[in-house]
């Protein structure tokens, strides 16, 4: 039997314990005296957080006392070994554990500390004290050296020692290192335009509850239209746009843009996650539609551009449409996708109309604050011809914006004079080249004017009212680029998809 097995077997050998007990009675416990263990009460603090939907948080603190169990000198030894995980398990078992009955019968051994030199443990302690003293002196010397070195380095950095130690010219090296290791502050543009990549909007949240009002949800004086589209409807829309691209043929470049609504960008996700609001994911729906489009259709993902600006005034609070600023960010996504220069709003004149109460304000009982409609006029000449009765009738000369617009329920009509079957915008922008057809519903009204920066002619077709064949119209007017634009609500409405397909009958 080896030493480890022998030590382990002693734990269960009664003769060994009797021998050890006699030895203790006759000679006392070997080794240094062990101080008594003080039984102390320990406490543990448990914190329970109860969150409510308001901005305050209630915290309850419960204090639970845990009694210290009975212990002996040998229990202390075992627990110390258990806490030191690097000890081998055989080392732990090699320590003989005397029963509590034997410990209580142990005679109280008095130690004469005047003869402490007879105990090896005290001699070892003296040696340790000397060793510690030497270590302390060494640490003090090292600390002094470090302080002196730090002082010299500080003087060198401040230039006090330039005469003795001139600095090397490392400016270029430092600049290069900074540039190469600096993290980008924004997500790469190619990710923003990725049709499978969607940023999670993070609108500011004051923890207000909100409430339902008819079919809308009111939160922070804003009315939100909820979304219930699903994968089947998204695939149906993709199928409809594929049909249109096939009908147009290989001589056309076809783009598609689906616009998310305010509930996706402006309502905190917690209200959906906790079941307060049942509005389905628009990012998933849009992604499903894009995924099911043929190679003949090029999706333009404006979702991420809007998500990055979700705390700006990109949607109206009383209407289901986006604002002029929101449509501008979508235009930026379009220009980036096509590799075109984008119009800068700083080069334009800003115009505002106060007192807009949109479609949602008319359907709720809540007294919502009025919206402001903002639009920008351009640093180049534009014109607009409105075909109220279709392309085969004479058009009416007009302007891109209805400049006499006032507050009220129809203020969104400042963009393109509202929904018209066909409008042709012409531009004198120095960047403008070629022609494009925008096939849209009302979301396209605020978007179309920005295209005049890049195209000489922008043919705006409202598929709900246009009564001609789209392909024949484009061929007649020498248009080879078409973009279909729909709000996500329209894209998930089969009747709207059927109307888009009806452009080719």
CA distance 447 to 436: 13
- Angle at Cα 463 formed by Cα 460 and Cα 464, nearest 5°? 125
| Dihedral sign from CA coordinates of 38, 41, 47, 48 | positive
CA distance 437 to 458: 6
Q: Name 136's Cβ contacts closer than 8 Å, sequence gap at least 6.
A: none
**Strands annotated E in 203-311:** 211-213, 216-219, 222-225, 253-259, 297-299
Q: Which residues pair with 216 in a beta bridge?
A: 213, 225
CA distance 375 to 158: 55
CA distance 55 to 6: 66
CA distance 349 to 8: 91
The pairing of strands 297-299 and 371-377 is unpaired
Residue 357 near residue 408, CB atoms below 8 Å: yes
pLDDT at 143: 79
- Return per-residue pLDDT of the chain as tens, 505 residues: 454 444 444 444 555 555 555 554 454 443 334 344 333 333 333 333 333 333 333 333 333 333 333 333 333 333 333 333 333 333 333 333 434 444 444 444 444 444 444 434 444 444 455 556 677 787 888 778 887 777 666 655 555 555 444 444 433 333 333 333 333 334 445 589 999 999 999 999 999 999 999 999 999 999 999 999 999 999 999 999 999 999 999 999 999 999 999 999 999 999 999 999 999 999 999 999 999 999 999 999 999 999 999 999 999 999 999 999 999 999 999 999 999 999 999 999 999 999 999 999 999 999 999 999 999 999 999 999 999 988 888 999 999 999 999 999 999 999 999 999 999 999 999 999 999 999 999 999 999 999 999 999 999 999 999 999 999 999 999 999 999 999 999 999 999 999 999 999 8
pLDDT at 15: 59
Alpha-carbon separation of residue 428 from 162, 341, 351, 425, 432 (angstroms): 63, 15, 21, 10, 7
> How far is CA 460 from its chain centroid?
36
pLDDT at 91: 35
Task: Give Rg (Cα) of the chain.
Answer: 40
pLDDT at 155: 59
pLDDT at 425: 98
Token reading at 274? 């906790």
What is the H or E stretch that residue 58 is in?
Answer: strand 57-66
pLDDT at 377: 98
pLDDT at 139: 80
The string of DSSP letters for 75-128 reads HHHHHHHHH-TTS-HHHHHTS----HHHHHTS------GGGGGGSHHHHHHHHH
CA distance 330 to 322: 10
Residue 444 near residue 465, CB atoms below 8 Å: no
CA distance 259 to 229: 13
CA distance 193 to 184: 17
Q: Name 372's Cβ contacts closer than 8 Å, sequence gap at least 6.
A: 313, 352, 353, 354, 356
The most distant pair of C-alpha atoms in the chain lies apart, rounded to whole Å, by 126
H-state helical runs in 292-339: 303-307, 324-338
Three-state DSSP class for 281? coil
């Amino acid at each position: 039997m080896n030493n480890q097995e022998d030590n382990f077997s002693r734990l269960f050998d009664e003769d060994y314990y009797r021998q050890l007990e006699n030895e203790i009675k006759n000679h006392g416990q070997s080794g240094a005296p062990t101080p008594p263990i003080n039984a102390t009460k320990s406490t543990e603090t448990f914190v329970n957080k109860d969150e409510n939907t308001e901005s305050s948080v209630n915290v309850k603190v419960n204090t639970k006392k845990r009694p210290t169990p009975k212990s002996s000198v040998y229990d202390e030894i075992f627990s110390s070994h258990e806490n030191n995980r690097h000890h081998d398990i055989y080392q732990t078992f090699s320590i003989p554990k005397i029963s509590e009955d034997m410990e209580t019968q142990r005679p109280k051994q008095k130690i004469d500390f005047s003869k402490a030199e007879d105990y090896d443990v005290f001699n070892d302690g003296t040696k340790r004290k000397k060793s510690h003293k030497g270590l302390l002196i060494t640490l003090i010397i090292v600390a002094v050296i470090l302080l002196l070195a730090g002082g010299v380095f500080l003087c060198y950095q401040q230039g006090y020692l330039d005469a003795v130690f001139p600095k090397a010219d490392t400016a270029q090296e430092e600049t290069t290192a900074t540039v190469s290791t600096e993290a980008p502050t924004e997500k790469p543009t190619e990710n923003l335009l990725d049709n499978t990549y969607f940023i999670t909007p993070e609108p500011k949240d004051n923890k207000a509850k909100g409430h339902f009002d008819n079919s809308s949800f009111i939160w922070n004086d804003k009315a939100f239209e909820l979304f219930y589209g699903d994968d089947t409807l998204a695939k149906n829309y993709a199928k409809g746009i594929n049909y249109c691209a096939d009908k147009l043929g290989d001589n056309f470049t076809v783009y598609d843009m689906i616009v998310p609504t305010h509930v996706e960008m402006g309502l905190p996700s917690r209200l959906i996650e906790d079941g307060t609001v049942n509005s389905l994911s628009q990012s998933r729906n849009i992604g499903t539609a894009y995924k099911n489009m043929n190679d003949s259709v090029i999706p333009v993902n404006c979702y991420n551009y809007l998500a990055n600006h979700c705390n700006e005034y990109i949607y109206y609070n009383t209407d289901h449409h986006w604002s002029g600023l929101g449509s501008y960010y979508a235009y930026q996504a379009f220009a980036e996708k096509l590799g075109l220069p984008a119009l800068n709003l700083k080069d334009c004149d800003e115009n505002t109309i106060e007192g807009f109460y949109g479609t949602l304000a008319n359907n709720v009982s809540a007294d919502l604050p009025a919206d402001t409609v903002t639009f920008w006029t351009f640093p180049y000449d534009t014109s607009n011809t409105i075909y109220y009765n279709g392309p085969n009738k004479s058009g009416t000369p007009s302007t891109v914006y209805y400049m006499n617009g006032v507050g009220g329920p129809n203020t969104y009509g400042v963009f393109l004079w509202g929904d018209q079957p066909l409008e042709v915008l012409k531009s004198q922008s120095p960047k403008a080249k070629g022609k494009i057809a925008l096939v849209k519903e009302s979301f396209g009204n605020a978007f179309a004017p920005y295209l005049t920066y890049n195209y000489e002619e922008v043919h705006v077709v409202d598929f709900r009212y246009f009564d001609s064949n789209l392909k024949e119209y484009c061929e007649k007017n020498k248009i080879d680029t078409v973009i279909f634009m729909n709000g996500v609500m329209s894209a998930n409405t089969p009747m709207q998809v059927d109307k888009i397909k009806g452009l080719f009958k």
